Amino acid sequence: MSKAMTEPTSELLYLDDLHIGRRFTSGTHALDERQIVAFAREFDPQPFHTNREAAKGTIFRGLAASGWHTAAITMRLQVDGGLPIAGGLIGLGGEVAWPTATRPNDVLHVESEVVEVVPSRSGRERGAVTMRSETRNQRGEVVQRTTVKLLVPRRSKLG
C-alpha cells in the first residue's frame, strides 16, 4: 500500500459515485530483471527484453520491459485497489502509449482520473466510464499512459 494520494481503496465504487476529475492512486510494484526477462521469454522474446548484454547494442541501450508487461503490471496495480470499481475492471479498449522505457529496478505506481462518464442508454444496469491513467516510475517519469473505457454498474436500488 502506498501513501494513498487521493482515495481510500476499501470502498467499491459504482457509476453513481464517479464524476469527471475523480482521481485514484495505486500501490506500488517493484520490477526486477528476472520479471522482465520471464515475461519477455513467454510473450515478447526480443533481445532488448530478454538479454541484458544484447540489449546494450539496441535502440533501448539496455534491458527494457515489454510494453505489454508494463500494461499487465498496470492492470495488476489497478485490480489490487488502484481502481476500486464494483463488479471488477472490465475494459472495452482504449489507447496506450509508452513514452519512457520501463527498466529493471523501477518501482511503478498508477495514477488514474475519470475523464468521461456515459450512462448506458439501452438499460439502467451499467454505463461506461473513461479513465486516463499514468504509470510512473520512482522518478515520476511516465512509462505508460492509457485512456481506457470501462463498463461500470449502477448502484442497485435495493433496500
When asked if residue 71 is in the footprint of its own copies (CB under 8 A), the reply is yes
Write down the least CB distance from residue 65 to its own copies, Å: 12
Under the binding rule (CB under 8 A), the answer on residue 154 touching its own copies is no
Q: Give the CA distances from residue 36 to residues 1, 40, 139, in Å, rounded to whole numbers and listed in that order.
A: 22, 6, 19
Residue found by looking up cell 449502477 in the block: 154
Residues 90-109 that bind its own copies (CB under 8 A): 90-99
Which C-beta is closer to its own copies: that of 5 or that of 30?
A: 30
| Residue among 137, 60, 101 at smallest CA distance from 52 | 60
Q: Does 89 bind its own copies (CB under 8 A)?
A: yes
DSSP-based three-state secondary structure for 66: coil
Stretch that binds its own copies, among 8-16, 45-53, 105-113, 133-141 (CB under 8 A): 45-53
Interaction between residue 58 and its own copies (CB under 8 A): yes
Q: Please report how close the Cβ of residue 146 comes to its own copies at its closest, in angstroms.
A: 9
In angstroms, what is the C-alpha Rg of the chain? Answer: 17
Q: What is the DSSP letter of 56?
A: T
Q: Phi and psi for 57 in degrees, rounded to 5?
A: -90, 10
Beta carbons within 8 Å of 113's beta carbon, 6+ residues apart = 21, 22, 23, 24, 131, 132, 133
CB nearer to its own copies: pick between 28 and 46: 46
Q: Which is nearer to its own copies, 30 or 97 (CB)?
A: 97
Instruction: Report the interface residues with its own copies, using CB under 8 A.
Output: 39, 42-48, 58-59, 66-69, 71-73, 75-76, 79, 87-99, 145, 151
